[in-house]
Amino acid sequence: MDEDLIYEIKDQIGLITLNRPRTRNALTFEMYGQIADILEGAPTDGSVRAIIITGAGDKAFAAGTDIGLFRDFEGAESGIGYETRGDANLLRMENCPLPVIAAISGACTGGGAAIAAICDIRIASKDLKFGFPIARTLGNCLSAANYARLVNLLGEARVTEMIFTSRLIGAEEALSLGLISEMVEDNTAIRARAFELGEQMKGHAPLTLRATKTMLRRLRQARPPVEDHDIIREVYGSEDFREGLEAFLAKRKPEWKGR
């Protein structure tokens, strides 16, 4: 496994560590697939009973996809490919047969927030900053599947307000919204609490947990799929997306044109 992502098993509890602290654990394209491989392929023989996902260091869970990787995008079709692969990997993550706990400290944005959203339980330290500030950064959009997950978690009005204002949700608000189930003091405490939860789940009936995950996933997926390629193509093929990318990398404010 690449050093950008570390997977280890400690006393029947799996631990995925997003290991790029110098970039606030910004995700490479390969990392999404690696996480999906681990979660989708999690064993059901009792050798692993729960899996924790966390970020290295104390600054971030994951600050989205590494923005520099978008430099190679060649317009609309690159955006379609990116969102399609992302949806496929997140669906594979959701198919994990074991409980998945997100142990979040600091920034949890963009792709990091999308990964946290597929987890069964989210706990966070007081410095949590959760959101998708895409309207002031890249000027891109999410896939329909990701919007649906967020609406399921937060409600349509809250998702609209969060995206439109590009604000990040703090820990106390996240707790009040039910986005996270617990708030703890700091990064050290979040890891300890995540393992406590894993230990608790080790003593519970695995078939009950697996059945609950499957039923809830089926309920979420019962809605008919929404076509989104036309919108993704328009946004990722726009002048504004290229401007947002160049402005972000140059650390300047983008000049949006709406085309």
* Digit-coded pLDDT (tens) for 41-92: 999 999 999 999 999 999 999 999 999 999 999 989 999 999 999 999 999 9
pLDDT at 1 over 60: no
Q: How far apart are CA 167 and CA 175, in angstroms?
A: 16
* Under 8 Å between Cβ of 98 and 42: yes
What average pLDDT does the segment 78-107 reach? 97
Domains for the chain: give ranges and CATH numbers: 5-186 (3.90.226.10)
Six-digit token string for 141: 């959009």
3-state secondary structure of 48: coil
CB proximity list for 153: less than 8 A, separation 6 or greater:
117, 178, 179
Number of C-beta neighbours around residue 63 at 10 A: 25
pLDDT higher than threshold 90 for residue 209: yes
Q: What percent of the chain has pLDDT over 90?
A: 95
What tokens does 179 get? 């986005």
> Does the pLDDT of residue 228 top 80, yes or no?
yes
192: β partners:
none
Average pLDDT, stretch 232-246?
Answer: 96
Pairing of strands 50-55, 100-104: parallel
Cα separation of 63 and 184, whole Å? 20
Average pLDDT over every residue of 159-184: 97
CB 24 within 8 A of CB 64: no
176-198 mean pLDDT: 96
H runs (alpha helix) in 8-155? 29-40, 76-94, 111-118, 144-154
**One-letter identity of residue 61:** F
Q: Name the least confident of 21-25, 70-74, 96-100.
A: 70-74
Percent of the chain residues past pLDDT 70, beyond the cut: 99
Mean pLDDT, rounded, for 223-238: 94
Report the distance separating Cα 146 and Cα 173, nearest Å. Answer: 21
Q: What is the pTM of this model?
A: 0.95
Please state the φ and ψ torsions of residue 16, each to the nearest 5 degrees. -100, 120
